[in-house]
Structure 1
Amino acid sequence: MSLDSSGISSLMTKNIVVAEQDANIIGISRIMSNNNIGSVVIVEDLKTRKPVGIITERDVIRSIGMLQPHQLVVPVREHMSHPLITLSSQATVLDAMKLMYEKKIRRIIILDHDRLAGIITDKDIFRYLVENKDLLSDIITSGDLPIPENRIKDEMSHFWFFNNFVR
C-alpha cells in the first residue's frame, strides 16, 4: 500500500451537510453548531446538490469580524469560497495531500461525475497516516512527500497531541 494507490473514497465523509446559496451566515452558523462541523457545502439547490461553494468557520469569523450587522443576513453566496477546489472520487490520498499543500486549503470537495460525493479534510488524511504507521514511515524515509518533511512532522505532532490530550 502507498499514498498513490490509496483511494480517497474510503477516507472521505460521504454524509455532507449542504445549504443553498440563499442561506445567511446566521443560518449557516446554526447548521455548523447543530451538526458539530466546520464547514457547509453550498449547492445550487437541494434537489441536484450541485456544489458551487463552501462556507468554513473562517469565513463565518471574517463576516462577523466586519462588524457590519447587515452582513449576517446577506446570502452566503456573497461570503462563500469559490470556485470550489475539487477532486474526483477516483483520486488518491497523495493527490489530495498535494492539492491541499499547493492551494493552502484544509478541505477538498470530492465529486463523482460532477455530483457531490463527499469531502476530505486534512484531519482525515493525518488520521489515516497515524493509523497506518508503516505507510507514514515509508513516505518519510522515501523523501516522496508532497509537503516538506519538517512540516509534516510538525503537523503530525500537533494533530497527535490535540487528539490525545486536548478535549
Structure 2
Amino acid sequence: MKYVPVTAIMHEPVFYADVEEYVTQIVELMKTEGIGSIIVLDKGIPKGIITERDIVKSCIMGKSNFISLKAKDIRSYPIVGITEEQSIIAAAKLMKEKCIKKLVVWNGKREVIGIITQTDITYNIDLIFQTS
C-alpha cells in the first residue's frame, strides 16, 4: 500500500455557519453549494458539524418546530478530525472506529482546511494501491 495524505482527496473550500444560524438557512446553503456538511462556528471557533443525516434525523425525530431550529440544536459535537499529514488509510480506520462518514481535516494550527468522506476514500482507493 502507498502512503497518500488526506489532503490529496479532501473537499475544499469548507463552508461554515454560526451556532445561531437557522437550520433552514443552512439547508439552502447546502443545496446551493451542493455540499453534504457544514462546520458550525461559535465566535469563530469550530464547535460542531451538521451533515445531511443530522438534518434528516431532526425532521424524523420531530425536534420541536423545524423552522425555529438553529445550528446549535442539531450539530454533532465534538468534531472528529484528522491532521493534514495523515493518510487516507488512517482516515478510513478512524471513520470505522467512530462509526462516522465524514472527517474534518485540520492543519498544524488546528484550523479546518477540508473535509474527507467515506465516498472520497471509495472513489480514490486506487491511489493507495498504485505501484508507481
TM bucket (normalised to shorter chain) is 0.7 to 0.9
Question: When the two structures are superposed, what TM-score results if normalisation uses the length of structure 1?
Answer: 0.71
* Percent of residue pairs bearing the same amino acid type: 25
Alignment of 1:83-122 (within 5 A): 83-112=78-107, 113-122=109-118
- Structure having the larger proportion of residues in helix: 1
Q: Give 1:145-156 correspondences, 5 Å limit.
A: none
- How many correspondences in the alignment? 130
Instruction: Choose which of 55, 58, 61 in structure 2 pairs with 1:63.
Output: 58
Say whether residues 1:23 and 2:17 are aligned partners. Answer: no
Q: Which has the higher contact order (CA 8 A, sep 6+)?
A: 2
**Partner of 1:143 in structure 2?**
none
Structure 1 Cα separation of the partners of residues 103 and 63 of structure 2: 30
Could you say which residue in structure 1 is the equivalent of 2:129? 135
Distance in 2 separating the partners of 1:60 and 1:75: 11
The one-letter amino acid paired with 1:74 is L
CA contact (8 A) 2:38 2:49 kept: yes
Larger strand fraction of residues: 2
In 1, Cα distance between equivalents of 2:95 and 2:20:
28
Kindly indicate whether the alpha-carbon contact (under 8 Å) linking 2:104 and 2:116 is maintained by their aligned counterparts in 1: yes
- Among 122, 125, 131, the residue aligned to 2:121: 125
Shift, 1:17, TM fit: 1.2
Give how far 1:71 is off.
Answer: 3.9
Moved over 6 A (4+): none
Following superposition, the deviation at residue 55 of structure 1 comes to 0.6
Larger Rg: 1
The offset of 1:69, in angstroms, is 5.2
**Paired residues of 1:19 and 1:41 also in contact (CA < 8 A):** yes
* Contact 1:64/1:72, CA 8 A, preserved across alignment: no
- SS of equivalent residue, structure 1 residue 61: helix
Structure 1, unpaired ranges of 5+: 139-167
